Amino acid sequence: MNRFECASETATDAAASARGTRLVGDGRGVNRKVRHLAIGAGKDQNIYLVNRNNMGKFNPNNDDAIYEEIDGVLGGGEWATSAYFNGNIYFGPVGHNLLQFQFSQARLATAPHSKSVASFPYPGTTPSVSANGLSDGIVWAIEHSDPNDVLHAYDATNLANELYNSSQAGNQRDQFGTASHFGTPTIVNGKVYVGTTNNVTVFGLLGAESRLSSRASRPHF
């Protein structure tokens, strides 16, 4: 980012630092050198990957010496925060699908590996991940929707595979109202907690389905 881009983003409230930076797993580049990485994104629709040991510094006259920059892949801009799991990073930009990007040789792919069918209106979505170690990963995301927000669960290896959403029961059983503005699903001991504007809703396994794996079951509250 040069000084002209910096001034433009400041004037239009399109700051790249709209959301926090996330540490990601160390990776080895093509020369086998270990890279200690962090990743960030913001309203400018770009993804920034930095080496935590040498972040590049700011140069007002030229592009920064950043480790990797992927421009324009987060249409609508990133107002939420990403999630990381087993070599994958998940972004939920405003008005677009939930996106999965993969790391390879300490670099991030320049195009999504998979995306959800559903899109996520303002302010996008802040995903969370539950897993059994490095297997059975589920990506949880809240869709802000009128009159009831929707909790989605996706296969972490392929976001096109939706495992569950809170509107599919066809009645009031799983509906929870309006989640908080940047609501983030929190997973503890097999239950998913969603903070709303007036309560905390808890999703868990249906008793009749307790024999099923967590990925195949249908949460309810």
Q: List the single range of 54-58, 87-91, 103-107, 130-134 with lowest mean pLDDT.
A: 54-58
Query: What's the burial of 122, exposed, middle or buried (CB within 10 Å: 0-12/13-18/19+)?
Result: exposed
The whole-number pLDDT of residue 35 equals 80
Q: List the single range of 32-41, 67-76, 108-117 with lowest mean pLDDT.
A: 32-41
Compute the distance between CA of residue 166 and CA of residue 64 in angstroms, rounded to an integer. Answer: 44
Could you read off the pLDDT of 108-147 as tens digits, one per residue?
999 999 999 999 999 999 999 999 999 999 999 999 998 8
Residue 210 confidence (pLDDT) above 50 = no
Stated pTM of the model: 0.82
Q: For residue 57, what pLDDT band results from cuts at 50, 70 and 90?
A: low
Residue 187 confidence (pLDDT) above 90 = yes
Residue 190 confidence (pLDDT) above 70 = yes
Q: List the single range of 39-43, 124-128, 141-145, 173-177 with lowest mean pLDDT.
A: 173-177
Residue 72 confidence (pLDDT) above 60 = yes
Compute the distance between CA of residue 64 and CA of residue 94 in angstroms, rounded to an integer. Answer: 26
Average pLDDT estimate for 138-166:
95
Compute the distance between CA of residue 36 and CA of residue 138 in angstroms, rounded to an integer. Answer: 25
| Radius of gyration in angstroms for the set of CA atoms belonging to the chain, rounded to a whole number | 19
Residue 1 confidence (pLDDT) above 60 = no
Q: For residue 67, what pLDDT band results from cuts at 50, 70 and 90?
A: confident
